[in-house]
Amino acid sequence: MSTESVKDRVIIFDTTLRDGEQSPGASMNVAQKLQVALALRDLGVDVIELGFPVASQGDFEAVTTVAERIEGPILCALARANREDIDRTWEALRSAARRRLHVFIATSPLHREYKLKMNQQEVVRRAVEAIGYARERFEDVQFSAEDAARTEPEFLAEVAERAIEAGATTINIPDTVGYTVPSQYSSLIAYLRRHVRGIERVVLSVHCHNDLGLAVANSLAAVAEGARQVECTINGIGERAGNCALEEVVMALRTRHDFFGVRTAVRTERLYPTSRLLSNVTGLQVQRNKAVVGQNAFAHEAGIHQHGMLMHPGTYEIMRPEDVGFSGSHLVLGKHSGRHVLRQRMKDLGYQLDATQLDKLFEEFKRLADRKKEVFDADLEVLIQGYINPGESSSWKLETLSCVSGVGTVPTASVCLEHTDGRKLRDAACGDGPVDAVFKAIERITGQQVRLCSYQVTSVTDGEDAQGHVSLEVETGLQRFQGRGVNTDIITASAQAFLDALNRAARITVPASVSKPVIPSISASA
């Protein structure tokens, strides 16, 4: 894309599959990453950052697989400023029709002294050499000055200018630790636009973290000062408090076009389905009052608000629900519905299923429809979990469960689990309550001992036949894992959620203490 064409256009650079996946508990396998990448393509993002190929063999394979399957957006991957990383990234992206290398090095005094052990001249030299080497294979090279927001403006301008001279086509100015405030960040962008020679030839990008809750505000302030690429993630997931939320920045630019005067290519009606898909894949729940895509984003309970809405929707809504993918009506699904309507509804929700996945889902759908009068979208979204990533290894499935509990009775649970290798194991345990007894029985069978960190029960839909949704988090060693389960029986849903978390934990074959030193700067990158 020429710089001329982006004067009134903001490029949306989605890093859900890279920086977003670094959010604790949000790791995805290849099948899940492919589903999210397909959704991002349909959403209309300009650039998809697929991962960090040198981080692990699994990340390399995920980037390679998705790069082979996705067409349309620019496909990007991250590399540190060294030849090994750049070579590995080239191997992972070489099959992509449109590819970009994202190379970074830290520039702030804190990082230079304590992490890199380099002075300013050494940082500049490393950046220039890496960009020059990258341009031998990539026409599109993005350079990021990690922790740019805490870098001396004069030195940051020097690094950016030298990066442009070396061949970088995009210059990214990250607020890596979410430290700046909007006025400070916009001033930095304005400073760079005034003092960096050649900056008009490249795209100026921003990447903001949400440690102070200012990621979206800082990104918008930068756009107002001339930045024309925003790096963001669906639902704002990412390191620590997360990244700039894609849905929020996109709808802010659309809703306040009168102020910003720029546009994006995002198909905003796909925002809500994409948000729900990611939540389902990662197990990370979207808070009810989340802007744009939260359950309460277009809900009104106060009498004054309801009266205003009856008179005119614009009294209390600055966006139409339909513009972000919400619908005022639901397609009613029940026990008489067939595969065709189910396939279409899942497609509307953002899922692309093959025949085998659809057949499995249809069986579960029919079983649920026999217990419920109506099956709603939320019911379908929890049913799909497990069918978008078939063939997982080291996984257990709940076969049978029975509990005894009551006043004056010691709660006990009897559980039978089936392993993917065909084994069926049974055990029983006592606990402080029926759920505790079930969890202890499952731990005895699987041999996995974990600490329960959080446990929450919510209703998926309304009515007496509503399904109960259990979300929990367990800790094993230094890592935490999310688990979800849904059933009309809360005890069964709890068992499913606990197993989901244990299965996620079992799939992590390399301990964090072994893998992290390989990529010492990944947690703070960009």
CB half-sphere exposure, 23, CA atoms < 13 A = 26
- Would you say 126 and 145 are in contact if contact means Cβ atoms under 8 Å apart? no
Per-residue tokens: 141: 């090279």
Helix (H) / strand (E) element for 495: namely: helix 490-507
Phi, psi dihedral angles at 167 (to 5 degrees): 120, 5
CATH 3.20.20.70 domain range(s) in the chain: 3-288
Helical H segments across 44-149, by residue range: 57-69, 83-93, 109-111, 120-134
- CB 255 within 8 Å of CB 295: no
Measured on CA atoms in the order 486, 490, 496, 498, is the torsion positive or negative?
positive
**Domain 3-288 in CATH 3.20.20.70:** yes
pLDDT reported for residue 463: 62
Q: Whose CA is closest to 353, among 364, 363, 342?
A: 342
**pLDDT at residue 329, as a whole number:** 33
- Binding-site residues, in ranges, read 19, 207, 209, 243
In angstroms, the CA 491 to CA 186 distance is 52
Q: Which amino acid is at 409?
A: T
* Portions of the chain given CATH number 3.30.160.270: 396-507
Q: What are the DSSP E strand ranges found in 432-505?
A: 451-459, 468-476, 479-487
Contact yes or no for 22/15 (Cβ under 8 A): no
Backbone φ and ψ for 117, nearest 5 degrees, come out as: 55, 45
Q: Which residues are annotated as a binding site for Mn(2+)?
A: 19, 207, 209, 243
- 8 A C-beta contact, residue 243 and residue 15: yes
Q: Which tokens belong to 1?
A: 């894309």
Would you say 390 and 396 are in contact if contact means Cβ atoms under 8 Å apart? no
CATH superfamily membership of 396-507? Alpha-isopropylmalate synthase LeuA, regulatory domain (3.30.160.270)
Backbone angles phi, psi at 140, to 5 degrees: -110, 110
Alpha carbon distance 481, 473 (integer Å): 6
CA distances, 399 to each of 237, 402, 417 (Å) = 34, 11, 5
Sign of CA dihedral 289, 291, 296, 302: positive
Compute φ and ψ for 142, nearest 5 degrees. -105, 135
pLDDT of res. 190: 98
What's the CA gap between 183 and 195, in Å, rounded?
Answer: 18
Q: Which pLDDT belongs to residue 162? A: 98
In DSSP terms, which residues pair with 418 in a beta bridge? 397, 424
Rounded to 5°, the CA angle 326-50-79 comes to: 145
Terminus-to-terminus CA distance in the chain, angstroms?
22
- Residue 344 makes CB contacts below 8 A (sequence gap 6+) with none
What token pair was written down for 132?
């020059």
CB 144 within 8 A of CB 180: no
CB distance 506 to 395 below 8 Å: yes
What the block records as the tokens of 357 is 């996945």
Amino acid 434 reads P
pLDDT tens, residue order, the chain (526 aa): 444 455 799 999 999 999 999 888 788 999 999 999 999 999 999 999 999 999 999 999 999 999 999 999 999 999 999 999 999 999 999 999 999 999 999 999 999 999 999 999 999 999 999 999 999 999 999 999 999 999 999 999 999 999 999 999 999 999 999 999 999 999 999 999 999 999 999 999 999 999 999 999 999 999 999 999 999 999 999 999 999 999 999 999 999 999 999 999 999 999 999 999 999 899 898 988 899 998 777 765 454 554 565 677 777 788 888 899 886 433 456 776 777 778 877 887 778 888 888 888 888 888 888 877 667 776 787 677 656 554 444 579 899 999 999 888 999 999 999 998 889 999 999 999 999 999 999 999 999 999 999 999 987 666 666 778 888 999 988 788 888 888 878 999 999 999 988 988 887 643 433 333 333 333 334 5
**Alpha-carbon distances of 419 from 224, 393, 399, 484, rounded to whole Å:** 55, 9, 10, 19
pLDDT for 467: 74
Tokens 């001396």 map to which residue?
152
Q: Which positions ≥6 away from 407 have C-beta within 8 Å?
A: none
- Give me the pLDDT at residue 511, please: 41
Pairing of strands 47-49, 11-14: parallel
pTM (2 d.p.): 0.74
- The C-alpha atoms of residue 28 and residue 100 are separated, in whole angstroms, by 22
